[in-house]
A and B are shown apart, each in its own frame.
Chain A
Amino acid sequence: MFGNLSDRLSDTFKNLRGKGRLSAADIDGTLRDIRRALLEADVSLEVVKEFTGKIRERALGDEVSKALNPAQQVVQIVNDELKAILGGEARKLSFSKNPPTVIMLAGLQGSGKTTLAGKLAKWLKEQNHTPLLVAADLQRPNAVTQLQVLGEKVGVPVFAPEAGNGVGNPVKVSKDAIAFAKKSQYSVVIVDTAGRLGVDEEMMQQARDIRNAVEPDEILFVVDSMLGQDAVNVAKAFHEGVGVSGVVLTKLDGDSRGGAALSVATITGAPILFSSTGEGLDAFEPFYPDRMASRILDMGDIVSLIEKAQQSFDEEESKRLAEKMAKDQFTLQDFLEQMQQIKKMGSMKGILGMLPGVGQMKKQLEEFDEKEITRTEAIIYSMTPLERTQPKVLNGARRMRIARGSGTSVTEVNQLIARFEQAAKMMKTVAKGGMPNIPGANPALMGGGGFSGGKKKIDQKKKGSKSGNPAKRAAENAGLDFGSEKSSGSGSAFGL
């Protein structure tokens, strides 16, 4: 329905490639896309504004990372900041020193409080607590019955003196529940309250009365992850109305991007403690800020690619390769090493899928044979050191031996050598400052992958720059070329 942010950003990436430093205009371009992505993920506008402002400031002042292109770097900053807000003060549920610990649930109608009460009770029980559920939602028809059914399922007693359906006083019920829990020595009391709107003053007063009556150790604000722009108002109303000590996100098993999480976390400043991910009573887990950050941005793949690239790319190695390329000393051994670097970054399909603009080529990606790399490795491993450094010595007899040794055929060995020669030639061209002409390579991919112009590369080399960029790009191209067994020149993406 919405173009995915990764795809949209790939355009921005193209324009930014090859720049050594972030200019204000570069940042603004990327931020515009990010603003839109955040809005489409339902992050509230005022939170988006504040957030992008912060990003801009940091991006302008930040040093240029060597492994990333500028746009990727902005994305990296965004991701860091998102994680900081979502999980800056990650903490566990706090338990009272004098039991019972009282947990009060509050939220809008339909956010999932009652279901959550059941899940929370089960989870606590599994951790050897003795929870007591309190049916203080006397508003919604049969909310009490629902809680009783849940209580029975998870084997947790339910304190429900009132039948509900508009009858009974929830404040009294809550108060009695605490007394009962103390007497019967329950360790945790979970108070399920009625859903209420932040603007409903009467109901908010009732929530405050319940709070004052039970003096909760935790007031968990239960938020539907599909919440829209209104999340800000709702969060403000509950934060000011009853006070929020922690947040629980529900319905995360849906396909919403969950921007509400960011809005609520920003407004309340309270940590998100749990996420609820399904209708089963076990579908309940601690909250993972990094997963949420990726989900909101809808570009988790790019973010992980960036992280992987930074982790696994050995800068020294790439510098050595770049020099070799320029001197035309690129050998099969280097070819192998490059491939192994790529392998280190993850599966080939994964890597290709991570690149922006690749979305439309999913089908071809599915046909991509991961084993191709393994086979290529086998072939090179079956060569002698001499053969690896000087492929020219490879005559018919040697090729036959290699084919047998690697369990492949002579044709495959021939194809590999042909591809290697092509790659070596291409790298030489790049190193000398020209544009490589790779049959079947996808321009969007090259843009997204941080392709930089040849000229700049030479400059960097002269300055002795450690930039991983050119080599990384070359490695990627080589890898791609590598995989294209069935043939170069077909014109299809990746030559598949």
Chain B
Amino acid sequence: MFKFLKRLRRDKPIETPEVIQEVLVAEPVVEVIPEPIAQETRVEAPKPEVQKVEKPKPVEKPAVAVQEVELPKRSLGDGVRSLFSSAIELDDLEDILIRADFGVDAALEISDELKRAANKAGASSDAELRLLLKDLLTKKLTRSDAALNLSDGKLPYVILVVGVNGAGKTTTIGKLSRWLRDGDWNVVLGAADTFRAAAVEQLATWASRADAKLVGPEKEGQDPASVAYQTVELALSTDADIAIIDTAGRLQNKKDLMDELGKIRRAVEKQASIAEVLLVIDSTMGQNALAQAKAFAEVADVTGIVMTKLDGTAKGGILYSLQEQLDLPVKLVGVGEGINDFAFFSPEEFAKGLVAYKQER
């Protein structure tokens, strides 16, 4: 969906308010544009940005270096497996979608819509149906808010990563920070999972692989909110671009643990605004993922979803319902244990993968 992110970096730690305002004004324009092409254009020709900055106070220009940094490309690749081992049969579609974890309602809805679309277009061949289904899914899955919020200029961007146990939070953070480092961002990681044995060490390993700074608890079982606070503090004092905070895995029905997330949020917000709250969901999860997302959205104001482990046999159909029912955009996907095995969620690539002709692996 988008392959570029821009970074707004200041040479001076303190900016004049006017300029900040201008940057803020410029930001929605960038955000709204959903197409990669549009964004590419912007990256190649950053004129409008510069002009705006110049308008009010041209004198300020040299003091503020607004950089746009291209981040390396990532794509789903062949991470998603096809739904179909043979030609599409409209009557079997519902079952096939259920098997892919779309859920009973969504499966029925999609297969009905495809039938209607096929009737309308007079499509009946396997190739035509695959194309129709791909278009239908792409259309349904495409959203304007699927991009990571890393361009509003309010440095440091703070990302809070939440999810149930074993979903892949720490691994996701490792991958994400490597990617940001590759784009020459300064990354600070916060190990606020002070509960699970060796979780801090696990993040530390990723931090050294990704060449990021790490803030960990000073003693075992320290309040995670205080670790989060210190993480932001370090990010501010070292003028880092981004702070990513890892939290302990928690099951959504554990009220006390869920409340703790609110506390972590408040601790962060004392010093900086939160750019993203990413909920990590394991693609192998079934319908319970909906309950997870709902509960986390309530307490932690989730802004986006990361689907992990899409490289397995699981199709991750639940992401469809997550977007439709809970109105939460899927932003990233994880497709392996390697440090580069992740991608931005692209509805088109995902849909393409699902309807592809089967290559048995």
Interface residues of A (CB under 8 A from B): 1-2, 36, 39-42, 44-46, 108-112, 115, 118, 139-143, 145-146, 148-150, 153, 165, 197-199, 224, 226-231, 233-234, 237, 251, 253-257, 259-260, 279
Contacts and interface: CB of A to CB of B under 8 A. Distances in A.
Contacts of A143: 198, 202
Contact of B337 (A139, A224, A279): A139
Interface stretch (B14-22, B25-33, B114-122, B280-288): B280-288
B251 A255 contact: yes
B197 A150 contact: yes
B288 A42 contact: yes
Contact of A42 (B100, B205, B282, B287): B287
Nearest to A109: B309
A199 B251 contact: no
B166 A228 contact: no
B217 to A, nearest CB: 14
A241 to B, nearest CB: 12
Contacts of A198: 312-313
B287 A40 contact: yes
A20 B282 CA distance: 48
B205 A141 contact: yes
A228 B285 contact: yes
A254 B318 CA distance: 18
A152 B320 CA distance: 43
Interface of B: 95, 98-101, 103-104, 164-168, 170, 174, 195-199, 201-202, 204-206, 251-254, 282-291, 294, 309, 311-315, 317-318, 337, 361
A226 B164 CA distance: 10
Contact of B290 (A1, A142, A197, A259): A1
A259 B286 contact: yes
B284 A234 contact: yes
Given A44-B99, A230-B314, A224 B252 contact: no
B284 A255 contact: no
Contacts of B204: 142
A228 B101 contact: yes
A233 B98 CA distance: 14
A199 B195 CA distance: 32
Contacts of A153: 197
Contacts of A279: 165, 195-196
Given A45-B98, A146-B198, A1 B282 contact: no
A139 B337 CA distance: 9
A230 B197 contact: no
Contact of B294 (A1, A115, A141, A150): A1
A199 B95 contact: no
B286 A1 contact: no
27 contacts: A46-B99, A108-B284, A110-B165, A110-B309, A115-B196, A141-B205, A143-B202, A145-B197, A146-B199, A146-B201, A199-B311, A199-B312, A224-B285, A226-B289, A227-B284, A228-B284, A228-B285, A228-B286, A228-B318, A229-B314, A229-B317, A230-B313, A231-B286, A234-B313, A253-B251, A254-B164, A255-B252
A153 B67 CA distance: 50
Nearest to A152: B197
Nearest to B195: A279
Contacts of A141: 170, 174, 201-202, 205-206
Nearest to A2: B287
Contacts of A146: 196-199, 201-202
Nearest to B295: A255
A251 B164 contact: yes
Given A228-B286, A228-B287, 4 more contacts: A109-B309, A142-B204, A230-B314, A251-B166
Nearest to A254: B251
A110 B196 CA distance: 13
Given A197-B313, A253-B251, A226 B286 contact: yes
Given A1-B294, A109-B166, A140-B202, A229 B99 contact: yes
Nearest to A263: B286
A431 to B, nearest CB: 44
A279 B165 CA distance: 9
B205 A142 contact: yes
A226 B98 contact: no
A171 B289 CA distance: 35
Contact of B167 (A41, A110, A145): A110
B166 A199 contact: no
Nearest to B254: A253
A397 B76 CA distance: 88
A142 B198 contact: yes
